[in-house]
Amino acid sequence: MSDVRTTRTLFSAPPHEHRRVLVLGAGIAGLVAAGELRAHGYDVTVLEARQRVGGRVHTMRLPGSELAAEMGAMRIPHDHRRTVALCGELGLTLLPFASGSVGTRESISRSGVDARSSGLAGWERSRDVWSRWERTVEDVRRDWFRLSRRQFIDRWDRLSIRGFLRSRGWSEQAIEEYGIVTFTESTLGTSVLQEFRETFSSAYETAYRIDGGMDLLPRGLADRLRDCVLLGHEVEQIVDGVDGIEVATRTAAGQVVFRADLVVCTLPFPVLRTVDLVGSFSPGKRRAVRQLHYDAATKVYLQLRRPTWRREVGPAGGAVSTAAPIRRTQYPALDHLGADRHLLLASYTWGQDALQWAALSENERMRLATRDLEQAHPGVSAEVEGSISHAWSADRYAMGAYALGEPGQTRDLLDDAVRPEGRIVFAGEHCSHLPAWIEGAVESAHDAVAMILPRRPAGARASWL
């Protein structure tokens, strides 16, 4: 559905114009926008609050080990062409991601959703969750390939996942099963649009991970930008004036004020609300910043001595869902069988599940994840040595996992979210048609750059400069 532009010019096009641009945030959107603008001759400075680049692409490694815990993005769907192309340009190796679902039914029956069929409608009884879904979305799939993106959004952004399934005659029991099997029980109230995007683009079928860790992508991009990324600069104020724009940052050494002709703002909207904005933001923009719904996500990794789970799961790895608090366990492919330590994504949660995990201490997260894992793999608790976890809702520089719209929000808020204000252009996954993916962040950066470049590709909206 999307119009993919080549990234071949990234960092290599000859400069033809010198204007000062401040890019706020060194996540994927900020780094890609900065690279493209530098390639076009702009004088770019990237201001990043953390002491690392990558934002929500965040890999943590065990000291002295190759084992990586992906706290944010962990997979790249095969058809995310911009992201795959970036990895190719940086010479990164893509390995298969263990996307398959293993042991789902067993974990469900163990965790309380019994095999009763009395609550199921007649047509649901002979089908599993996946074939019920496939049957239900046949006409939507036709729309996906037939309608323009705008028409598709207008038609299908009105309903939540739950509302859509109800409108198609699903019983409450079948909806409950769908929520558990697809990990969406805590996000059934969000727009069904994301569910369609991911189903029809086969996002979960074939995916890759980056050999060595996902953070090699942002770190590779930042290396190409060399000295123009300033870490430890927390943006506190943006003043959009008549003669230019000023951005004040807080650093360990005190406040620093930067002046520029343009700003590319990639800060997640919940964070942007905490920044002091001086200038005339339109009511539509202010509403989008306030209202756009961000989901929560929490990941808990357990460090184990031996991968005892391979008895039940097998060496290929994959995902298991359950109604228990851990919700989803993502088993890695066992490349390191001889290793003396292993990292397992024991619990990956969204929505209110993730908020509940966010309320727990690290020790409590380890205890609860171990308890639930023990149900599936008796004896595994004896192997647990420690845990590392991250709750994105409590992350000061994200304040949420990603933009996952409520029904109608893509239709009603996205244009306002993207629209430039004065000298500020907006980018980030929340300003794209693929929110919650690296691909969306890259797409939004390309779109932002297209708005800024004097010779804009057809379709770019940029008469504001």
Ligand X SMILES: Cc1cc2nc3c(=O)[nH]c(=O)nc-3n(C[C@H](O)[C@H](O)[C@H](O)COP(=O)(O)OP(=O)(O)OC[C@H]3O[C@@H](n4cnc5c(N)ncnc54)[C@H](O)[C@@H]3O)c2cc1C
Residue among 132 and 430 whose Cβ is closer to ligand X: 430
Residues 405-443, buried b or exposed e (16+ Cβ, 10 A)? bbbebbbbbbebbbbbbbbbbbbbbbbbbbbbbbbbbbb
Q: Which of 75, 82, 342, 411 binds ligand X (CB under 6 A)?
A: 75
**Interaction of residue 190 with ligand X, rule CB under 6 A:** no
Token pair for 233: 């600069």
**Interaction of residue 317 with ligand X, rule CB under 6 A:** no
Q: Which of 21, 22, 23, 26 binds ligand X (CB under 6 A)?
A: 26
* Contact criterion met (CB below 8 Å) for 308 and 375: no
Q: How far is the CB of 24 from ligand X (least distance, A)?
A: 6
* Contact criterion met (CB below 8 Å) for 420 and 464: yes
**Interaction of residue 264 with ligand X, rule CB under 6 A:** no
Question: Interaction with ligand X in 192-251: which residues (CB under 6 A)?
Answer: 234-235
Q: How far is the CB of 246 from ligand X (least distance, A)?
A: 14
Q: How far is the CB of 275 from ligand X (least distance, A)?
A: 6
* Contact criterion met (CB below 8 Å) for 433 and 1: yes
Residue 276, number of CB atoms within 10 A of its CB: 10
**Interaction of residue 39 with ligand X, rule CB under 6 A:** no
In order of 32, 69, 167, 388, the CA distances from 338 in angstroms are 38, 18, 51, 22
**Interaction of residue 289 with ligand X, rule CB under 6 A:** no
Q: How far is the CB of 386 from ligand X (least distance, A)?
A: 20
Residue 401, number of CB atoms within 10 A of its CB: 23
Q: Which stretch binds ligand X (CB under 6 A): 18-26, 139-147, 186-194, 358-366?
A: 18-26
Q: How far is the CB of 65 from ligand X (least distance, A)?
A: 22
**Interaction of residue 35 with ligand X, rule CB under 6 A:** no
Q: How many C-alpha atoms does 369 have within 13 Å on its Cβ side? A: 35
d(CA 331, CA 317): 5
In order of 137, 140, 188, 189, 383, the CA distances from 193 in angstroms are 12, 10, 12, 11, 41
Token pair for 126: 């002979």
Question: Interaction with ligand X in 438-457: which residues (CB under 6 A)?
Answer: 438-441
Residues 118-129, buried b or exposed e (16+ Cβ, 10 A)? eebeeebeeeeb
**Interaction of residue 68 with ligand X, rule CB under 6 A:** no
Q: Which stretch binds ligand X (CB under 6 A): 49-57, 169-177, 300-308, 446-454?
A: 49-57
**Interaction of residue 56 with ligand X, rule CB under 6 A:** yes
**Interaction of residue 433 with ligand X, rule CB under 6 A:** no
d(CA 276, CA 287): 16
Residue among 29 and 277 whose Cβ is closer to ligand X: 29
Q: Which stretch binds ligand X (CB under 6 A): 50-58, 174-182, 330-338, 361-369?
A: 50-58
* Contact criterion met (CB below 8 Å) for 422 and 264: no
**Interaction of residue 27 with ligand X, rule CB under 6 A:** yes
**Interaction of residue 297 with ligand X, rule CB under 6 A:** yes
Footprint on this chain of ligand X (rule: CB under 6 A): 24-30, 47-50, 55-57, 72-76, 234-235, 266-268, 271, 275, 297, 299, 392, 397-398, 401-402, 428-429, 436-441
